[in-house]
A and B are shown apart, each in its own frame.
Chain A
Amino acid sequence: MTEHQPVTIVMIEDDEGHARLIERNIRRAGISNTVRHFLDGTSALEYMFTGGDGPLLNGPALVLLDLNLPDMSGIDILAKIKAEPKLKRMPVVVLTTTDDKVEIQRCYDLGCNVYITKPVNYESFADAIRQLGLFLSVIQVPEAQD
């Protein structure tokens, strides 16, 4: 069952441009998994915790998380995910503009798996995302626990 169930990529990103660029580069890396895009924290949490096809109730997932969201801080979302026993093993990649040392530390302390700063230079940006794509293609994502 695990072998056949595809990993859903949950992207929480308020900037539609960023989301589009991220998705394009992920696709260019040869990743064809479903990408669910949410523009705010509330709807993303709703999907993850209560959505019928969300990771809590159904199937493995990977989260791409931006920290600057209009309705809540990405750090809060991270904390909520890591506090839920059924979701805490779900990989979370923080992908944000902030490169503040303190912020990065906090994210890792809360259990974030990878922290990536979005480079303004597009070539580096595209490169980072493509490498993330390669990373996504090889990592094993645990299934949600019952």
Chain B
Amino acid sequence: MSEAANRQMAAERRALSQRDLNRTLLGVLGAGLLTLAVLAVAIVWLSIQTKDFNGWVDHTYLAEQRIVTFMESVEKSETARRGYILAPSPRQYANYQQARSEVSSALFAAAEITKDNPVQIANISRIRPILVWKMKINDDSVAAVRSGRQSEALRDFPTEQALQPLLGVRKLVDDMLAEEQRLLAERTRQEQGSIRLLVIVGLITAVLLGLLSLASVMVMRRFASDLTNAQAELKVLNEDLEQRVEERTTDLTRANQEIQRFAYIVSHDLRSPLVNVMGFTSEMEASMKPLHSLVRWLEERDPEGRMPKEVKQAIDVDIPEAIGFIRSSTKKMDNLIGAILKLSREGRRNLTPERLAMASLIDNILATVRHRLDELGGVAEIDGHLPDITSDRLAIEQVLGNLIDNAVKYHSPKRALHISISGTELPGRVIYEVQDNGRGIDPRDHERIFELFRRSGAQNQPGEGIGLAHVRALVHRLGGVITCVSALDEGATFRISLPKVLVLTEGLNA
């Protein structure tokens, strides 16, 4: 027993640590998966950001290009103006006009693309008045040539005044380009940083993924082996259990047989000395007759009363009284032995299950108590439908017969006896109830009444305290349970729960 308990405790401990380990593994796995999800989100976010940075780098290149285009258009218009001044021709004029128109659209394009940068906005706004000034100089010199004042235009040509704005624009454009270069460097650096981060996160993710896969495989393998072990253990336990049940059944059968044999032998061996007690008591009683006659004879011849009173007392009163007690006690003892013998015989009787029509079975029992019921003015009836049962006829008859007999026997003088027998069917079982309105049983005695030679309440009815012990033994043999619901002076209900179909097992029927 203690070994089994130890084994069970060890198993519980093992199961507990196993559960802890499994919980930890699952926790780690869960945390890993969560991290993986976070990393995936991070990768997506970083990819978007890198693409963004990439876009900005492209943007910077485009801005640079537009600024350069603008500067080229300015230079181109300057070249066209000079060409026209030096060798005026309608083609040169058209060239100049063309270049001039391109300047403002190029500036607009450059301003448009850099409008997100305050530094460039400032630069553009500084370029604008210089450009306007320059354009005015240009337009003036071109107009002078057109109106035939070429010399005037040529005179102004090399002056610092004409070169000044051009140099200013060049300077500012250089600033703008430098600014774009700075932005480019910065954005490229950001882009590279983002790419590096992406690579690192990707690597971490890959490593984590690998670890998680490994952990998953381990957990699965572990569970699989646990499962296999558990199955093997269960199988062993099952086989063990079956074997143990078999052993117990054998033990029980043997114990049962031993008790039966014991009861049988004891009751027979107890009877033997009792025969002597009874026999010699009778012999003694018979021997008393001549003694009585002797006392009568002496009395007649002894009018003075010389015979000691004690002699007369002993022979006339004491000895017959003693003999009376010996006889009644022996008789009682014989009854008790007879009861034990009866119980042991009942225990050895082979049960034969058959389908019993309960209504007619009860009717037969009621017929045997009809006379007594009529005397008492009582009623006994079946209440509702009685479900049938497949069981041993004699045993069922004895059980219900005993209960109904008791109901009649222990009626209450205060009211007309009413006995009702009812039954209900449950899955696989049948319950019968014998209910009366008799004198009832003290709840303290509800267990006692089922014991051999024990009785309850006023001992004003004959009986040895065998009936209910016999009933309970029979009900147990039939695989059933009997209970009592009662209170003093409130009637009693005996409830028997029996299997719907009696299945004989070796142990019970031995």
Contacts and interface: CB of A to CB of B under 8 A. Distances in A.
Given A15-B276, A18-B276, A98-B268, A120 B334 contact: yes
A21 B272 contact: no
A15 B277 CA distance: 12
Which of B272, B275, B279, B280 counts the most chain A CB atoms within 10 A? B279
Given A18-B275, A118-B275, A123 B282 contact: yes
Contacts of B269: 68
Contacts of B274: 120
A6 B186 CA distance: 149
B278 A121 contact: yes
Given A18-B276, A125-B278, A97 B271 contact: yes
B275 A120 contact: yes
A120 B331 CA distance: 9
Contacts of A123: 282
Contacts of B272: 15, 18, 68, 97
B249 interface: no
Interface residues on B, range: 10 to 19
Given A97-B268, A120-B334, A126 B282 contact: yes
Contact of A21 (B268, B273, B276, B330): B276
Interface residues of A, number: 17
Interface in A36-50: none
B360 to A, nearest CB: 30
Given A21-B283, A24-B283, A122 B278 contact: yes
B398 interface: no
A52 interface: no
Contacts of B271: 97, 118, 120
Contact of B275 (A24, A97, A98, A100): A97
Nearest to B334: A120
Nearest to B337: A120
A17 B277 CA distance: 9
A118 B330 CA distance: 15
Among the interface residues A15, A122, A126, which one has the most CB atoms of the partner chain B within 10 A?
A122
Contact of A17 (B264, B275, B282, B330): B275
Nearest to A25: B279
Interface of B: 264, 268-269, 271-276, 278-283, 330, 334
Interface of A: 15, 17-18, 21, 24, 68, 97-98, 100, 118-123, 125-126
Given A18-B275, A21-B279, 4 more contacts: A15-B276, A68-B272, A120-B334, A126-B279
10 contacts: A15-B272, A17-B275, A21-B275, A21-B276, A21-B283, A118-B271, A120-B271, A120-B334, A121-B334, A125-B278
Ranked 3 nearest A-B pairs via Cβ: A17-B276, A122-B282, A21-B279
